[in-house]
Amino acid sequence: TMPSIFSYQSAEVDWCEGNFERSTVIAEYYNTVNGTTLFSFLLLTPLNFLVLEGAALLTQVSFAFLAGVFSMYFHMTLSYVGQLLDELSILWTLAVAYSFWYPRVYFPRCIKSRKHFFWLSGVTTVISTLMSFIKPAFNAYALNCIAFHLLYLTWRELKKCNDKRVHRMAAVMVVWWVLAISSWISDRWLCGLWQAINFPYFHSFWHVLIAMSLLYCCPLVIYFDVNYEMPSFKPKLGYWPSDSWPVVVPYIALEEPHKQC
């Protein structure tokens, strides 16, 4: 008989970490615990998004919050439903981010307004959601491929920008992303090796590293968005609590330029 879609270990994907080794309730202990890095990330993102409209902030944080919850649920149960909720919450979080902050200059020629782009993003996301049920094991690979488009957009924007702080922040973001995707691929493709040396925890590293990459990605998105949507302000990158600290939170400050008489 077919297992229940809510049953433990009914998912198509099982990560390298051993199941139920440290808890009788949590299937992948470290993957679940490190999923809380998404919550830590959520506490920091509003520092950047507060410069934008409230609806965008509330919607984005709400979807990101669900992504964190569903990631923990999936790794705790390894259920089929948990897998789909985890992957689809990420898909919809990305869709919301694209809808609100994708630069107008890159809109397809047939799109004349942000409202039309909302509809395009919505229809594309609904179709992608339906297709994700066909072979859920491929979903994670497809979602990771979206990062290449984001890196391409970042490269396009950096070509127009002369601020060395922006280029440095983009470089740090890419370094964290490379470390994250390397950990993800290692966990999927070299699992036998890591289990042989009793260190099958690279997917849990992925959670931490991708959160760090996003921590630098968000200020960049805001920086470019302000340049396009709020031309009367000059965005400036900063670090809290101080540039000199070894561990910092990047953020965007808005400076209103002096008007010429």
Write down the H helix ranges in 161-241. Answer: 164-189, 191-196, 202-229
What SS3 class is residue 20?
coil
Please give the average per-residue pLDDT across 78-85, as a whole number.
95
pLDDT of 29 strictly over 90: yes
Query: 14 labelled as ligand-binding?
Result: yes
Q: With CA atoms as reference, report the closest residue to 165 among 234, 215, 70, 236.
A: 236
Q: Does residue 10 lie within any of the structural domains?
A: no
- Reported as a pLDDT band with limits 50, 70 and 90, residue 41 is low
What SS3 class is residue 6?
coil
User: 250: cis peptide before it, omega within 30°?
Assistant: no
Number of domains in the chain: 1
pLDDT of 53 strictly over 70: no
Q: Does residue 5 lie within any of the structural domains?
A: no
Q: Does residue 72 lie within any of the structural domains?
A: yes
pLDDT in tens, 87-110: 999 999 899 889 988 999 999 999
- This prediction has a pTM of 0.90
CA-to-CA separations, 132 to 2, 36, 127, 140, 150, in angstroms, rounded:
20, 25, 9, 10, 21
pLDDT of residue 229: 87
Q: Does residue 20 lie within any of the structural domains?
A: no
Residue with tokens 């991708």: 210
Q: Does residue 120 lie within any of the structural domains?
A: yes
pLDDT of 52 strictly over 90: no
How far out from the chain centre does Cα 245 lie?
Answer: 25
For residue 33, with 0-12 CB atoms within 10 Å meaning exposed, 13-18 middle and 19 or more buried, which class applies?
Answer: middle
Q: With CA atoms as reference, report the closest residue to 236 among 249, 253, 250.
A: 253
pLDDT in tens, 169-186: 999 999 999 999 999 999
pLDDT of 115 strictly over 80: yes
pLDDT of residue 48: 57
What SS3 class is residue 35?
helix
What SS3 class is residue 247?
coil
Query: 229 labelled as ligand-binding?
Result: no
CA-to-CA separations, 138 to 77, 129, 243, in angstroms, rounded:
19, 12, 41
Query: Which domain does 203 fall in, by range?
Result: 29-255
pLDDT in tens, 136-195: 889 999 999 999 999 999 999 999 999 999 999 999 999 999 999 999 999 999 999 999
pLDDT of residue 260: 46
Query: 203 labelled as ligand-binding?
Result: yes
pLDDT of residue 2: 53
pLDDT in tens, 235-259: 888 888 888 887 788 888 888 765 5
Query: 139 labelled as ligand-binding?
Result: no
Q: Does residue 23 lie within any of the structural domains?
A: no
pLDDT of residue 60: 67
Query: 207 labelled as ligand-binding?
Result: yes
Q: Which CATH number is 45's domain given?
A: 1.20.1070
Q: Does residue 37 lie within any of the structural domains?
A: yes
Query: 258 labelled as ligand-binding?
Result: no
Q: Does residue 21 lie within any of the structural domains?
A: no
DSSP annotation of 171: H
pLDDT of 213 strictly over 70: yes
